[in-house]
């Protein structure tokens, strides 16, 4: 008889584990407990079982019931984990739905963060005018989300998927949007003062009349973005090459130095400082 190769042993163990998990998830918990007790009773009468019991300094099966009950409790806890997780997600969505139309809801913020941490998609989230200041939605899937006029002051949206999201007139002051995907997003009149847009994808985004003063645009993709009326004065790390691939870039506002680099006439820079560091 040929000896099994390591690959064959691995496949056998993998199939065995899958088979055990399949039946554990389908058998009633009470039946599984009885099965576990029966195994312990059978082992008790074997030489190995008797030696083990003697080594523990106990006399019979009844003496280990308390220990078994703890083991069973742990077993049930892990078995019911997926169901508890499902209930937890359902409750989180209930909180989010209940807060719809309300501006302030700390529970909604917590529920959104919890779902995102579990890798649950927030696609199509409908939270217009919601107060989501300082929320942590790093790597969140917010495709087609409606966050019109939402307050996202200092929100963490690093690497978030915000494609085609509605952020019209949203407050994104000092928000971290580093490496976020904002392709085709609606940022009409959005407040992005002091935001971090480093390596952000803004391809075909609508930035009409958006406030982008003191925004970090290092490496940002502005291909096809609408810059009509956008305020890009004192924007950081912004190059003429980035700007000229956008639409209506000649109608945006730039500081004197950048206007000269773009071949545009000098513009009124307005107040030297703007209160974009105020919450």
Point out which residues pair with 253 in neighbouring strands.
231
Paired tokens of 277: 């560091």
Q: How far is CA 159 from CA 110, 135, 192, 199, 219, in A?
A: 19, 14, 17, 10, 14
28 neighbors 34 (Cβ within 8 angstroms): no
Nearest 5°: phi and psi at 233? -65, 140
Nearest 5°: phi and psi at 197? -115, 30
Kindly give the confidence (pLDDT) of every residue in the chain, 279 residues in length, as a single tens digit, with 9 standing for 90 and above: 455 566 666 566 666 666 665 655 555 555 555 566 666 666 666 776 666 556 555 555 545 555 555 555 555 555 555 565 677 787 888 889 888 888 999 999 999 999 999 999 999 999 999 999 999 999 999 999 999 999 999 999 999 999 999 999 999 999 999 999 999 999 999 999 999 999 999 999 999 999 999 999 999 999 999 999 999 999 999 999 999 999 999 999 999 999 999 999 887 655 544 444 444
**How far, in Å, CA of 38 to CA of 49, rounded?**
13
């Amino acid at each position: 008889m040929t000896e099994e190769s390591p690959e064959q042993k691995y496949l056998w163990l993998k199939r065995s584990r899958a088979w055990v998990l399949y039946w554990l998830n389908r058998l009633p918990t009470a039946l599984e407990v009885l099965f576990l007790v029966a195994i312990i009773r059978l082992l008790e009468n074997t030489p190995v079982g008797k030696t083990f019991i003697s080594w523990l300094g106990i006399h019979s099966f009844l003496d280990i019931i308390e220990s078994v009950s703890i083991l069973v409790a742990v077993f049930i806890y892990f078995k019911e984990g997926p169901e508890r997780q499902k209930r937890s997600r359902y409750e989180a969505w209930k909180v989010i739905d209940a807060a719809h139309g309300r501006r302030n809801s700390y529970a909604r913020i917590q529920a959104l963060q919890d779902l995102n941490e579990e890798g649950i998609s927030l696609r199509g989230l409908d939270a217009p005018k919601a107060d989501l200041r300082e929320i942590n939605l790093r790597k969140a899937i917010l495709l087609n989300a409606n966050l019109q006029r939402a307050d996202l002051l200092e929100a963490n949206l690093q690497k978030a998927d915000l494609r085609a999201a509605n952020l019209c007139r949203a407050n994104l002051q000092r928000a971290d949007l580093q490496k976020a995907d904002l392709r085709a997003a609606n940022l009409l009149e959005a407040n992005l003062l002091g935001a971090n847009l480093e390596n952000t994808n803004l391809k075909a985004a609508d930035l009409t009349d958006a406030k982008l003063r003191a925004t970090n645009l290092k490496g940002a993709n502005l291909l096809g973005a609408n810059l009509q009326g956008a305020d890009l004065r004192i924007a950081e790390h912004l190059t003429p090459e980035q700007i000229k691939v956008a639409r209506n870039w000649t109608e945006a506002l730039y500081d004197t130095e950048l206007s000269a680099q773009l071949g545009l006439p000098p513009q009124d820079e307005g107040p030297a400082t703007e209160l974009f560091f105020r919450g």
